[in-house]
Amino acid sequence: MKKMLVFALTAVMAFSMTACGAKQEAAAPAEEAVASEEEVAEEVEEEVEEVAEEAEEAEEAAELKSAVEDGIFTVGFDAEYPPYGYMDDNGEYTGFDLELAQAVCDLEGWELEKKPINWDAKDAELNAYAIDCIWNGFTMNGREDDYTFSVPYVNNSQVIVVSSESGIKTLADLEGKVVGVQQASAALDVLTDEESDMKELGDSLGEIKQFSDYNTAFTELQAGALDGLAIDIGVAKYQLNSRGEGFEMLEEALNAEEYAVGFRLGDTEMADIINADLAKLMEDGTIMKLAEKYEIADMISLE
């Protein structure tokens, strides 16, 4: 009976350890817990070590991939995010960020794999090594503790888009109104984060509604279900250009922020490579050429 109990305990511990990835630290309490049951303590220890070793091996295998050792650079992006990443008229994934990633791959001799991801699942995809980086109009401000970033390359700001008929002209007019933001977006952080300057504005709003893509959001705005949309300025310009009349962008921006390429926390090796390449591409004019193509030339922050 005793043995069975200890075995069950071991199984639970082994499971929780691999689950949270804290192998070495967890091994110590495991020893303590069974110290009184001397005759089986050793057995437990052995099993714990075995599990820890297996997990480490798995992690090593995963790390190989992150360093692009197989020559494939996997970029995760939201394929519904023009002009940074979207499907072009020929059905190919393109956009400013993806073309820039391609330019980096050309320099490094890597093959670029464009992997459209569900924006809500971006952290899981990145941490599970399914992608090497998030490169898709990715705001770095406020996320510094969660990712290792490249140098910022685009100056962005969050703006408010309203319907022309709404009569909303300033941020103050938004009091009590319903404002839409994309799930897990920087705009959401700006309006709700405790440390944000715009927290007050966020609190004054009637409601913050989260949506998954900009198409539904703009339709809701048009249909009057939303009074305003908090949105990245580059995306706002693209949407206003292609949707024509009926929408307006408020002159006051919510904030100023920067885009960078997001890597797994601690993956400085990759960040360094990308930084060096971005500097090269800025120098030879590639970046400015791309920026002009996507009409965001005034937003490039590299020098």
List interacting residues with other proteins (CB under 8 A). Answer: 15, 18-19, 21, 54-55, 58-59, 61-62, 65, 74, 79-82, 86-91, 115-118, 121, 124-125, 127-130, 213-215, 218-219, 239, 242-243
Q: Closest distance between other proteins and the C-beta of residue 187, in Å?
A: 17
The beta-carbon contacts of 242-245 under 8 Å, at least 24 apart in sequence, are 243/218, 245/164
- Rounded to an integer, what distance in angstroms lies between the CA atom of residue 239 and that of residue 267? 34
State which residue, 23 or 254, has the beta carbon closest to other proteins.
23
**Packing angle, helices 23-33 and 2-20, rounded to 10:** 160
**Residue 84 beta carbon to other proteins: minimum distance, rounded to whole angstroms:** 11
Nearer to other proteins, 167 or 244 (CB): 244
Please state the closest distance from residue 283 (CB atom) to other proteins, in A.
31
Instruction: Give CA separation, 290 vs 25, 103, 137, 167, 271, in Å.
Output: 48, 10, 14, 36, 21
CB half-sphere exposure, 261, CA atoms < 13 A: 28
DSSP states of 86-126: EE-TTS-EE-HHHHHHHHHHHHHTPEEEEEE--GGGHHHHH
Cα-Cα-Cα-Cα torsion 95, 101, 105, 110, nearest 10 degrees, comes to: -90
Q: Which is nearer to other proteins, 70 or 165 (CB)?
A: 70
Give, in degrees to the nearest 5, the angle at Cα 170 between 168 and 172.
100
Residue 254 exposed, middle or buried by CB count within 10 Å (0-12, 13-18, 19+):
buried
Judged by beta carbon, residue 118 or residue 204, the one nearer other proteins is 118
User: Considering beta carbons, is residue 33 or 87 the nearer one to other proteins?
Assistant: 87
Spatial CA neighbour of 101 closest among 68, 56, 63, 64: 68
| Paired residues of 87 in beta bridges | 93
Cβ of residue 83: shortest distance to other proteins, in angstroms? 9
CB of 286 to other proteins, least distance (A): 23
- By C-beta, is 82 or 234 nearer to other proteins? 82
Residue closer to other proteins (CB basis): 67 or 172: 67
**Backbone torsions φ then ψ of 54, nearest 5 degrees:** -60, -45
Residue 90 CB, shortest distance to other proteins, in Å, is: 6
Q: Give strand pairing partners of 258.
A: 155
Whichever of 36 and 90 has its CB closer to other proteins, that residue is 90
**Quick count: other Cβ atoms within 10 Å of Cβ 25?**
9
What is the nearest approach in angstroms of other proteins to the Cβ of residue 186? 18
* Minimum gap (Å) between residue 70 Cβ and other proteins: 9
Beta strand pairing call for 133-134 and 72-77: parallel
